[in-house]
Amino acid sequence: MTKTTQEIQSIDNTHHLHPFTVHHELREAGPRVITRGEGVYLWDSDGNKILDGMAGLWCVQLGYGEQELVDAATDAMKTLSYYNTFFQTTTPHATRLSQLIAEKTPDGLDQIMFGCSGSESNDTAIKLIWYYWNLQGKPEKKAIISRERAYHGSTVAGASLSGLPFMQGIFDLPLPRFHHVGPTPHYYEYGNSDESEREFGLRCAKAIEDKILELGPENVAAFAGEPVMGAGGLMLPPEGYWQEVERICRKYDVLLWSDEVICGFGRTGEWFGCQTYGYTPDIMTMAKGISSGYQPLSAVAINKRMSDAIVNADSEMAHGYTYSGHPVVCAVAVRNLELITEKKLVGERGQATSEYFLKQLSLLDDHPLIGQTRGVGLLGGIELVKDKTTRERFSPDGTAGVTCRNHCFKSGIIMRAVGDTMFLCPPLVITNDEIDELFRLVRISLDLTLEELKP
Ligand X SMILES: *Cc1c(COP(=O)(O)O)cnc(C)c1O
Shortest Cβ 412–ligand X spacing (Å): 25
Torsion of CA 329, 331, 337, 339, to 10 degrees: -120
In this structure, how many other beta carbons lie within 10 angstroms of the beta carbon of residue 133? Answer: 21
Stretch that binds ligand X, among 65-73, 258-266, 327-335, 396-404 (CB under 6 A): 258-266
- By CB under 6 A, is residue 232 in contact with ligand X? no
Sign of CA dihedral 389, 394, 395, 397: negative
Q: Residue 285 has what DSSP assignment?
A: E
The number of residues that bind ligand X (CB under 6 A) is 14
Residue placing its CB nearer to ligand X in the complex, 201 or 264: 264
Residue placing its CB nearer to ligand X in the complex, 231 or 378: 231
Q: Which of 41, 131, 151, 257 binds ligand X (CB under 6 A)?
A: 151
- By CB under 6 A, is residue 415 in contact with ligand X? no
> How far apart are the C-alpha atoms of 242 and 274, rounded to whole Å?
9
Residue pair 127/321 in contact (Cβ under 8 Å)? The answer is no
- By CB under 6 A, is residue 54 in contact with ligand X? no
Shortest Cβ 416–ligand X spacing (Å): 12
Pairing of strands 283-286, 49-52: unpaired
Q: Which residue is closest to ligand X by CB? A: 118
- By CB under 6 A, is residue 226 in contact with ligand X? yes
> How far apart are the C-alpha atoms of 100 and 15, rounded to whole Å?
41
Which phi-psi region, left, alpha or beta, contains residue 359 (left: φ > 0; alpha: ψ -120 to 50)?
Answer: alpha
- By CB under 6 A, is residue 273 in contact with ligand X? no
Residue placing its CB nearer to ligand X in the complex, 126 or 385: 126
**By CB neighbour count within 10 A (0-12 exposed, 13-18 middle, 19+ buried), where does 230 fall?**
buried
Residue 292 CA, distance from chain mean position = 12
DSSP 389-407: TT---S-TT-HHHHHHHHH
Residue placing its CB nearer to ligand X in the complex, 53 or 153: 153
- By CB under 6 A, is residue 287 in contact with ligand X? yes
Integer Rg of the chain from CA = 22
Q: Which of 262, 299, 329, 337 binds ligand X (CB under 6 A)?
A: 262
- By CB under 6 A, is residue 118 in contact with ligand X? yes
- By CB under 6 A, is residue 294 in contact with ligand X? no
- By CB under 6 A, is residue 119 in contact with ligand X? yes
Name the residues that contact ligand X, by CB under 6 A: 117-119, 122, 151-153, 226, 230-231, 259, 261-262, 287
